[in-house]
Structure 1
Amino acid sequence: MKFSSIIMSAAAIGMSAVSITNAQQNQAACSSVYTRKELLSLTSSEWTLYKAILAAMQRDGWFAWFSYLHVQWFNQIHGNSQFFPFHRRFVQDWERVGRMYNSGFAQPYWDEMRDYRTPATSQVLTANWIGGNGAGTNLCVTNGVQGGWTMTYPNSHCFSRNFANNGNPTSWYSPEYINSLVQKNSNMATFRSDMEYSLHGVVHIHLGGDMYQGYSPNDWAFMLHHANLDRLWWQWQQLNNHLWTMDGPNSDGAATTLNTNIAYFNEPIRSVMQLGYGNMCYQYSSNVLSRRDLDSDVESVLAVSLPTDILSKYFPETAKTHHINVSAPVAAAISNLSNSDIKAPIAAAAAIFANSPIAAQVQSLITSRQRKRIPRPAEITDAWAKMHNYNAADVARVKKEARDFVDDMAKINYESPF
């Protein structure tokens, strides 16, 4: 299920405050804006160009430089509200270097939610893209864009990965859960911890090798991963006009504000808050939480199949406006339903819409796509939390809420098409 309609509508709401934005940030709109695409949507010519740029950046020491910076500022940029602003600026700086080699370069993102059930089988982690697990004593990666590379920081070593669970990482976080985090959080401090202690950490841990270390930018998956996290932050910013929401603790324990300087870059956080302004001259190809080919009308039908209490608890924005941008046939079908029908479990969708204009679509979705319960996601380890000096109570809260989400969805017999 995706709740794209509410996210897309929220974008318009967020951008309606442009005049306020300009006055507050005092930065000029970019004269041109380039687009960051989902990795697998790159054309063959784009991917050929990007591979050449990455090889040149490795040759000239840029992988080592960004890994060095990440290590030097590690304690200041994790476990506090520097997390999102620093990494937005960090990835943008990496992108700026790539564009020095060719102005056509734009850092892609990896839509990891599409691969959450069985990450190791992701097309991204194949020889045609960024390569798979490491092999041999040193867990060297031999295929993909970095296959056979020798990294130079912090010492000379083969580029490595060490997938968790003996090479078969358990499930990550579903599109539904990440959507819930985007919708339900009203402040940066909670949104940041919810994301950092779930999707962020698990991807790092489960890819392992260089990606597990403080020098994780050695693995280009770092940039793909953090571009995706930045995309999710941008979606949250646009929802309920969180464009300028910045709060929570700084690395020194002081309150973080828009005027707080970004670690290392010595620039105010306000300078990175709005894409399309100042130096943030990029946008994302998708404003949807997970790139899927499911019919949007059918997805809207499935959205209203959730019980009201579940919608209100986990998807408050969807609960407010169930049917934003729903097509006329679907709106008509929904209007004919009783409250008891709307609260029916998703498995009854075909029966509910048996006489509606979209009955064939609903039936096709149910019969042609394998639907399964959402599994409990993997969790960050105690060792990872200690390595980052995370707040133990916050980590425990995030773990519990992720488990509760899966359990609550199971209680209503929800089965995901993802």
Structure 2
Amino acid sequence: MLKYICIIAVVIIGEVVAKSVFPTPRLDTACSKIVVRRDVTTLGPAELDRFFRVVREMHRRGWMDGFGSMHDHISHQVHGNDQFFAWHRRFLRHFEVLMQDIDPDVVLPYWNWGTFWQNPLADPVLSAAYFGSNGRPGDGCVLDGAEARWGRNYPSRNCLTRKFRYGTSTGSFWPMRAVRDVMNSAKTHAQFRSRIENGAHGIVHLGLGGDFETMWAPVDVLFFLHHAMIDKIWAEWQSRDLQRFRSVDGYDAARQPVMASSLLPFYGDEVSTTLATNGPGYCYVYDDVPGPAPFVKSTHKRDEMPEFAAPLNGTDTSSDSFVNMRVANSKGGSSIVDFTPPQPMDPKWLKSMHYDVKEAARMQHLVDNVVAQINAERREVGSTKSK
């Protein structure tokens, strides 16, 4: 059995007082086995059903509200600075360990939003078969999928909501080619973090809207699959240079240097403990990302977890260039339809989320150029085939 430090919090909603326990498991000091995190769309029906049953139970226990509350209350410490990757890796592992306490055989999957980046509405992940689509007109309540008609109690009593950015559309996300351009150009952890956080990461939050575009977004299970994709992207970047599994750089929210020995907000673990996904306490790899050679068993002794006293309420799309989207023309033939890049993110929203407005503008320029390259290649291939 896992040993927990339990966080007891009181929620006041009008005249209703509810008490909940939100557990924070200590991580193991060694790996008894290494599991594989996979694209959620590759899970078989039985695997997917087990995952859904576990997250519904977590919701029933009030744990999703707990994750949303924690993330919201320390958001300024773990966004817009270089604690972002390491802290969210620890946060995902917290979620995964609680899942495995309910069902030891369930592993957190990831959502590869790069597969349907141009038209997320066609993504099965945003369908009734998986996590549901847009919220109901008016109030944004999610009515289909695994989270259909879920309530939430944080930050107030309401339904779980999504409100797509353009009413009935999320808009485009980032193509994986743009993500890999960042992987190829970013030489330091700080550069890579800033470019991904203010680009590919942010556009998904804004596109889904509703609870997803807030700092309590972890009330939505899909948050964890989105961030597993971000974690996978970081793991792939790390795999290109073994030194990246041992060191970090940049600054935290207090403008203090982030180093391997820096402590993660709330958890108190050293950043070094998060750097290898197959290291002690984490014990996972991604299905198509090479991990580092197994690390020697850690002798690091984790201190007891601090109390969290905030209120608690109960990849690779290599066919980017050649997807054959065509429309009929007046001569009875067809022509290739250009892809559209994601639209710029609202500066006011960026600031509210502790993001970097200037970096977001630079990333917008990058993704615009990448999509233009993709369109040029598709037109060239199309014209060659028509000859």
SS in 2 for 1:182: helix
| Structure 1 range deviating more: 226-235 or 117-126 | 117-126
Aligned mate of 2:361, from 381, 396, 405:
396
Correspondence 1:290 to 2:255: no
The 8 Å contact of residues 372 and 416 in structure 1, kept in 2 or not, is answered as no
Q: Distance in 1 between matches of 2:184 and 2:138?
A: 44
What are the residue-to-residue correspondences of 1:86-101 with 2, within 5 Å? 86-101=87-102
The residue aligned with 2:25 is none
The residue aligned with 2:349 is 384
The 8 Å contact of residues 131 and 142 in structure 1, kept in 2 or not, is answered as yes
Task: Give 1:156 deviation, angstroms.
Answer: 1.1
The residue aligned with 2:253 is 251
Q: Distance in 2 between matches of 1:201 and 1:386?
A: 12
What are the residue-to-residue correspondences of 1:34-183 with 2, within 5 Å? 34-183=35-184
Q: Which runs of 5+ in 1 are unaligned?
A: 1-26, 303-345, 347-369
Higher helix share: 1
Higher strand share: 2
Q: Distance in 2 between matches of 1:144 and 1:48?
A: 12
What are the residue-to-residue correspondences of 1:273-284 with 2, within 5 Å? 273-284=275-286
For 2:145, give the aligned amino acid.
G
Task: Give 1:248 deviation, angstroms.
Answer: 1.1
Task: Assess, with a 3 A threshold, how the Cα gap between structure 1 residues 62 and 209 changes in structure 2: closer, same or farther.
Answer: same
Task: Assess, with a 3 A threshold, how the Cα gap between structure 1 residues 60 and 180 changes in structure 2: closer, same or farther.
Answer: same
Q: Distance in 2 between matches of 1:30 and 1:257?
A: 24
What are the residue-to-residue correspondences of 1:365-380 with 2, within 5 Å? 373-380=338-345
Task: Give 1:291 deviation, angstroms.
Answer: 6.0
The residue aligned with 1:309 is none
The 8 Å contact of residues 183 and 239 in structure 1, kept in 2 or not, is answered as no
The 8 Å contact of residues 371 and 415 in structure 1, kept in 2 or not, is answered as no
Q: Distance in 1 between matches of 2:375 and 2:145?
A: 38
* 1:84-109 Cα deviation digits (max 9, x unpaired): 00100001100000000010111110
The 8 Å contact of residues 177 and 370 in structure 2, kept in 1 or not, is answered as no
Task: Give 1:413 deviation, angstroms.
Answer: 6.5
| Structure 1 range deviating more: 173-182 or 59-68 | 173-182
The residue aligned with 1:272 is 274
| Structure 1 range deviating more: 75-84 or 30-39 | 30-39
Task: Give 1:374 deviation, angstroms.
Answer: 4.6
Q: Distance in 1 between matches of 2:212 and 2:157?
A: 16
Task: Give 1:28 deviation, angstroms.
Answer: 6.9
Instruction: Name segments (4+ residues, structure 1) moved above 4 Å.
Output: 370-374, 408-417
For 1:391, give the aligned amino acid.
D
* 1:52-88 Cα deviation digits (max 9, x unpaired): 1111101111101100100111000101101100100
Q: Distance in 2 between matches of 1:218 and 1:231?
A: 21
Query: How does the TM-score come out when normalised to structure 2?
Result: 0.77
SS in 1 for 2:261: coil
Task: Give 1:397 deviation, angstroms.
Answer: 2.1
Task: Assess, with a 3 A threshold, how the Cα gap between structure 1 residues 415 and 81 changes in structure 2: closer, same or farther.
Answer: farther
| Structure 1 range deviating more: 267-276 or 376-385 | 376-385
The 8 Å contact of residues 344 and 361 in structure 2, kept in 1 or not, is answered as no
The 8 Å contact of residues 67 and 153 in structure 1, kept in 2 or not, is answered as yes
Q: Distance in 2 between matches of 1:45 and 1:406?
A: 37
Task: Assess, with a 3 A threshold, how the Cα gap between structure 1 residues 416 and 257 changes in structure 2: closer, same or farther.
Answer: farther
For 1:196, give the aligned amino acid.
E
Q: Distance in 2 between matches of 1:182 and 1:60?
A: 39
* 1:126-175 Cα deviation digits (max 9, x unpaired): 11100011114311111100001111111110111101112112211112
Q: Distance in 1 between matches of 2:168 and 2:248?
A: 38
Q: Distance in 1 between matches of 2:164 and 2:175?
A: 19
The 8 Å contact of residues 176 and 317 in structure 2, kept in 1 or not, is answered as no
The 8 Å contact of residues 347 and 357 in structure 2, kept in 1 or not, is answered as no
Q: Distance in 2 between matches of 1:42 and 1:416?
A: 34
Task: Give 1:178 deviation, angstroms.
Answer: 1.0
The 8 Å contact of residues 109 and 225 in structure 1, kept in 2 or not, is answered as yes
Identity %: 25
Q: Distance in 1 between matches of 2:137 and 2:364?
A: 33
- How many aligned positions are there? 319
Task: Assess, with a 3 A threshold, how the Cα gap between structure 1 residues 214 and 240 changes in structure 2: closer, same or farther.
Answer: same
The residue aligned with 1:260 is 262
The 8 Å contact of residues 252 and 258 in structure 2, kept in 1 or not, is answered as yes
Task: Give 1:253 deviation, angstroms.
Answer: 0.6
Correspondence 1:33 to 2:59: no
Q: Distance in 2 between matches of 1:237 and 1:174?
A: 20
Q: Distance in 2 between matches of 1:215 and 1:250?
A: 21
Task: Assess, with a 3 A threshold, how the Cα gap between structure 1 residues 149 and 391 changes in structure 2: closer, same or farther.
Answer: closer
RMSD: 2.5
Q: Distance in 2 between matches of 1:130 and 1:397?
A: 32
| Structure 1 range deviating more: 154-163 or 235-244 | 235-244
For 1:266, give the aligned amino acid.
G
